[in-house]
Amino acid sequence: MPKRSKRIDWQDLQDRIIGLGEDSLKKSHYPELQTRLRELERFRALLDLSSDIVLIIDINTERVVDWNLAARTALGHREMPPLADLDAAPLQAFLHEDHAPCSERPDMCSRTLITSFRRADGSPIPVEIAISLRIGGTERLAIAVGRDITERLRTEQRLRRAATVFDNSVDGIIVLNADKTIAAVNPAFTQITGFSATEVIEQPISMLRSSRHGEDFYHGIQAAMQQKGQWLGELWSTRKSGQDLPLWLSISAVHDDNGIAIQYVCVFSDISRLKESERRLEHLAHHDPLTQMPNRLMLATALNRALIRSKRTGSLLALLFIDIDRFKTINDTLGHQTGDLLLQAVAHRISNSVRAADFTAHMSGDEFAVLLEDISSIDDAAKVARKIVLSFADPFDLDGFDAFVSLSIGITIYPEHGQTASALLRNGDSAMHHAKSEGGNRFRIYTRELTKIAFKNLQIETSLRHAIDDGELELFYQPQFRLSDDALCGAEALVRWQHPKRGTIPPNVFIPRAEQTGLIIPMGAHLLLDACHRSKSWIDQGLVAVPVAVNISGVQINSSPIVETVTEALDLSGLPPSLLKLEITESFAMHGTQGSIDRLYALRALGIELAIDDFGTGYASLAYLRELPVTIIKIDREFVHNIPDHRGDCAIIEAIIAMAHGLGLVVVAEGVETEAQKAFLKQSGCDIMQGYLGGRPAPHGDFAKRLHPRPGK
């Protein structure tokens, strides 16, 4: 055991002083001792006041000879009296086995080192100590003043970790100084923006601004930073290349102990991909996928905005509501793929007919719209509509096939025809239907009258559904006469709707609606069966029945089992097929797909004759008719109307008759109203005539009176 005398024995000194007693001390003859003791007390108090760990080490014995309160607390010996049993405290016992190896022994000079002390419970405590030597005579003391650096090491570790995050983050990080100049950027920043660190450091952050935001936007950010110390949101920046760069950015202020912002940390991610898919989604939601034109939704937005502008400036605004004529027929006959091709071509042609600044939209199916702002009169809108209609005079090339397509356009003007987007759209639709009901290939300007008509149309559609069941549909019969001998040779069955309230409604009013809604299919089947039963009843009554021609819609041929329907009607009625003829329109025959042509052959194979109706109106070529199993053509009454005075029409009729005969077809002239017309037709070699001259369409009973009884009956 080393000798105690080598140490400053505080305990012993204190014990002795206490042993003397306060009174005796006061009277003491040892004033030096008293002074020395006071010094010592002050020194100890001072030592214990220090927050630094103080160890006094005897270098000769390598033992700790004293320690202060901070040392006892840090090492977990707080409860120990200051000088308790330090005999058992070799320096080694204070050092943790993990302590940083210290190659130089601390006996040379004063120095600082970092090591690990050992707590009472054996755990390490990292310390930074400064050691100074006191060498006097035989006494060689080292005073170690140290500090617990657990916190500091933790902070350093945190910083190291933060640096790793900073360097490896996929998010861009910018550290700003209080004056908003750039203090540091990470590699991701460079990767995203294209700027290297040296290019931006010490530059003001405003160098990364985009012109997409105004001053107000940045003021908003500043205000939020001042109020809440942070900002989070989307922001446009600029890449080094000058390209716009959308970012998702968070800015947080770093405050000092006084709450003053000393730095700002901006963390951002590049959201250009997200923006792009958002843009694509947005495009999808607002554009027609087929034509890429703005859709109905976007039209509504554009129209509303235009209305606000017009209201403010007092200018006129026009909406052109456009619909392709007979698109359904085209789609049904040529197939949906060709229909799509046509829609794209139509969209293109409409766009090319208007100025780039005019807003065009593809609303749905075959409906388009054009918005004209700042027009000076209705005439301006009419001029544009006329231009669009005329641009459709040339045929469309659909897979090598020339298709003639026309449009119906309805025009509404703000403020005259409506104050709101929905009123303008509704009235544009009415005007368009008006154009359509007049035969299409034209435009019509909205009038208040049209609202009533549109309403009537809607009513028609609803009540038409009941008309079939309620037996309100009736076939009228119009006689046909052979021109060579004026003999009754047939009849055409023409439907009439006997409406309980509105009286007789002609087919032109409700057939197009029935075709659009598909109602034509059950209705057509019903009428066909009715016609067959009626003809058979004439035979049963002992009359000489003549062949009856029934009109068939293209929709029936394309979208219903027409061959089965006809077979069933013949079977159920028992009518010989030779007494039934079917009329199909020229435009349908022209656009026939292979499937529909096959069906026509199957019908012909049943022994039924087929006629092409309204010949001359649908650009059919007689040569093409050779491909079809038709036996009759009916010249449209528009041509018949002008003969014999109109030389052009006369020439056309003569040519049609000659060519039809060349193809072995029977020619029927429709709409013959005068003797002069009849004479011309007879002279031109026409076979059969039909028209008011011979007789108007009449109820079956009236027509039956024209039929002769069978000889012998």
Instruction: Please tell me the distance from the alpha carbon of residue 686 to that of residue 678, in angstroms, as a whole number.
Output: 9
Q: Which tokens sit at 388?
A: 């669009």
* β-pair type (442-445, 407-414): parallel
DSSP character for 545? Answer: -
What residue type is assigned to position 679 of the chain? A
CB of 641 to ligand C2E, least distance (A): 8
Judged by beta carbon distances under 5 to 8 A according to partner kind, the member of ligand C2E, Mg ion, none in contact with residue 124 is: none
We find the least distance from the C-beta atom of residue 434 to ligand C2E, in angstroms, to be 19
With the CA atoms of 102, 105, 107 and 110 taken in that order, what torsion angle do they form, in degrees rounded to the nearest 10? -20
Question: Strand, coil or helix: what is 338?
Answer: helix
**Binding flag, residue 585, Mg ion (CB under 5 A):** no
Q: Which is nearer to ligand C2E, 55 or 552 (CB)?
A: 552
Instruction: Please pick, from the candidates 429, 515, 583, 586, the single residue that binds Mg ion as defined by CB under 5 A.
Output: 583
What are the residues whose beta carbons fall under 8 Å from the beta carbon of 73, sequence distance 6 or more? none
Minimum CB–partner distance for residue 671 and Mg ion (Å): 8
| Distance in Å, CB of 544 to ligand C2E, minimum | 23
- Which residue from 339, 410, 616, 691 is in contact with ligand C2E, where contact means CB under 6 A? 691
Rg (alpha carbons) of the chain, rounded to whole number: 52
Nearer to ligand C2E, 425 or 611 (CB): 611
The answer to the question of residue 529 lying near ligand C2E (CB under 6 A) is no
- Here's the x/- map for ligand C2E, 593-632, by CB under 6 A: it reads as --------------------xx------------------
**Which single residue is written with the structure tokens 């939704």?**
297
User: Does 115 engage in binding with Mg ion (CB under 5 A)?
Assistant: no
Q: Give the chain's end-to-end CA distance (angstroms, integer).
A: 158
Which of 58, 66, 614, 649 binds Mg ion (CB under 5 A)? It is: 614
Q: How many CB atoms lie within 10 A of CB 437?
A: 15
* Nearest distance, CB of residue 516 and Mg ion, angstroms: 19
Contact flag: residue 649 with Mg ion (CB under 5 A) = no
Nearest-approach distance from CB 581 to ligand C2E, in angstroms: 12
3-state secondary structure 151-197: HHHHHHHHHHHHHHHHHHCCCEEEEEECCCEEEEECHHHHHHHCCCH
Kindly identify the residues of this chain, within the stretch 631-690, that bind ligand C2E according to CB under 6 A: 637, 670-673
Shortest distance (Å) from residue 528 CB to ligand C2E: 8
How far apart, in Å, are the Cα atoms of 151 and each of 97, 126, 137?
21, 9, 40
Residue 558 makes contact with Mg ion by CB under 5 A: no
According to the binding rule CB under 6 A, does residue 586 interact with ligand C2E? no
Interactions with ligand C2E, residue window 458-497 (CB under 6 A) = 478, 494-495
Cα separation, 691 vs 650, in Å, equals 18
Between 543 and 562, how does the x/- string for binding to ligand C2E read (CB under 6 A)?
Answer: --------xxx---------
Phi, psi of 334 (to 5 degrees): -95, -10
Whole-number Å distance between alpha carbons of 96 and 100: 9
With b for 16 or more beta-carbon neighbours within 10 A and e for fewer, the 106-136 pattern comes to beeeeeebbbbbbeeeeebbbbbbebebeee
CB of 627 to Mg ion, least distance (A): 21
Rounded CA-CA distance 421/363 in Å is 14
Instruction: Give whichever of 231 and 588 is closer to ligand C2E, judged by the CB atom.
Output: 588
Yes or no: say if 330 and 596 are a contact pair by the CB < 8 Å rule: no
586 binds Mg ion (CB under 5 A): no
Binding ligand C2E (rule: CB under 6 A), the pick from 195, 697, 700, 703 is: 697
> Of these, 551, 553, 565, 677, which contacts Mg ion (CB under 5 A)?
551
- For residues 151 to 190, the per-residue mask of contacts with Mg ion, x marking binding by CB under 5 A and - elsewhere, is ----------------------------------------
- Name the H helices within 518-575: 520-540, 554-559, 562-573
Nearer Cβ to Mg ion, position 71 or 612?
612
Token pair, residue 533, equals: 């039963």
Q: Which stretch binds ligand C2E (CB under 6 A): 335-343, 372-380, 645-653, 691-699?
A: 691-699
| Of 100-108, 425-433, 546-554, 703-711: span binding Mg ion (CB under 5 A) | 546-554
Measured in degrees and rounded to the nearest 5, phi and psi for residue 695 equal: 155, 140
- Span of 174-182, 209-217, 379-387, 666-674 interacting with Mg ion by CB under 5 A: 666-674
Interface contacts to Mg ion, rule CB under 5 A: 551, 583, 613-614, 670
Interface contacts to ligand C2E, rule CB under 6 A: 478, 494-495, 506-508, 511, 524, 527, 551-553, 583, 613-614, 637, 670-673, 691-692, 697
